[in-house]
A and B are shown apart, each in its own frame.
Chain A
Amino acid sequence: MEENKFLRNFIEVFDEVPTEAITMNTVLRAIEGWSSLVGLSIIAMADQEYGVEIDDVDLRGIKTVGELFDLIQKKTNVK
């Protein structure tokens, strides 16, 4: 799983946030426009782009974009 591609997929979830504003260290809930719908979008992104299922319990355990990357990677490897 490639980090840059992941970041691009992640940034696509947000309509209005400038691309440079998001890095692997960005705290998810600090991103402007964070909402339950964004949470749903991340779940959908993980499913459609990487074929892994995550739910809100998974999301709750995650702070940064990098941690989300790690989680999806871990789940991809388990499959």
Chain B
Amino acid sequence: MDSSFKDPFTLEGKKILVTGASSGIGKQCAVQCSYSGANVIIFGRDADRLQDTFEKLKAGDHRKVIVDVCDRNALDSAISEVLQHYGSIDGMVYSVGLEHSLPFNFIKLEDYQTLFSVNVFAGFEICRLLLKKRGLNKNSSLVFISSILSKVANPGLVAYCASKGAIESGVRALALELVPNKIRVNTVLPGVCKTSMTDKFFDKLPEERVKDIIKLHPLGLGEPEDIAHAAVFLLSGASKWITGSSLVVDGGYSIH
């Protein structure tokens, strides 16, 4: 056995910030990061749900911060609080997101503004604050949970698709800009996974349409862990040659 061999997939010794950690994909990312060896900082708005995630983490030096990522001042203090404790961190998963099914005729300007603030702007603002406060170590990795709907369309989701497309192009530009800092930036593009967001989405659709959507996923609907595993890969050294890319994890949805 080669004793110098180090598992490139481990997050041992890393400190990772996971946003949207109170539910669904973000929650599973936080849990998986802790089991992969990281110390995890979790962000969310709902105290009870965030506590539930916190209790599911494997023992370590973890922290939880209740914060609305759209509240600029609160976000600034939250990041400062994190950096005060850890000095600097090694990566982030941005899994904050809002579902938004509305036919085009009904989408108002405020809807776009809300959706972009939550799905896009707050994620980039967190990165900016981390950089400005010199809170990202060399070889850090930033992972945005985007959506396969940034590439494949669906009616009734114009604003949502637009916001996910914005993440994709923004991430590519940011990835280039952060090359000198030795920081990688990537996205994961999930297909439909079983989370409360999907429940809300399905509640508004007729049963037949829901069945069609499920059928469009050759491997069936995804579990949050399917996305978490991809995120951990992108956070780990195993992906050190990957930046500005979009990792499709969609059960085959986009093969069609």
Instruction: Mark the stretch among A16-24, A39-47, A63-71 that contacts chain B.
Output: A39-47
Instruction: Mark the stretch among B63-71, B100-108, B219-227 that contacts chain A.
Output: B100-108
Q: Contact check, A41 vs B155: say whether CB atoms are below 8 A apart.
A: no
**Least Cβ–Cβ distance between A42 and chain B, in angstroms:** 10
Return chain A residues, CB-CB under 8 Å to B203.
Answer: 55-57
Return chain B residues, CB-CB under 8 Å to A43.
Answer: 204
Q: Contact check, A44 vs B103: say whether CB atoms are below 8 A apart.
A: yes
How far is A40 from B106 in the complex, measured between Cα atoms in Å? 10
| Contact partner, B155, options A37, A48, A55, Cβ 8 Å | A37
Q: Contact check, B206 vs A44: say whether CB atoms are below 8 A apart.
A: no
Q: Interface residue count for B (Cβ, 8 Å)?
A: 14
Q: Does B205 contact A (CB under 8 A)?
A: yes
**Least Cβ–Cβ distance between A37 and chain B, in angstroms:** 5
A-B contacts counted at CB < 8 A amount to: 37
Q: Interface readout for A20-31 with B: 1 if CB under 8 Å, 0 if not?
A: 000000000000
How far is A61 from B103 in the complex, measured between Cα atoms in Å? 22
The 4 closest A-B pairs by CB, nearest first: A44-B106, A36-B209, A55-B203, A41-B103
A–B Cβ pairs within 8 angstroms, 29 of them: A36-B156, A36-B205, A36-B206, A36-B209, A37-B103, A39-B204, A39-B205, A39-B206, A40-B102, A40-B103, A40-B156, A40-B204, A40-B205, A41-B103, A41-B105, A41-B106, A44-B102, A44-B103, A44-B106, A45-B106, A48-B106, A55-B203, A55-B204, A56-B203, A56-B204, A56-B205, A56-B206, A59-B206, A60-B206
Give the interface of A toward B (CB within 8 A): 36-37, 39-41, 43-45, 48, 55-57, 59-60
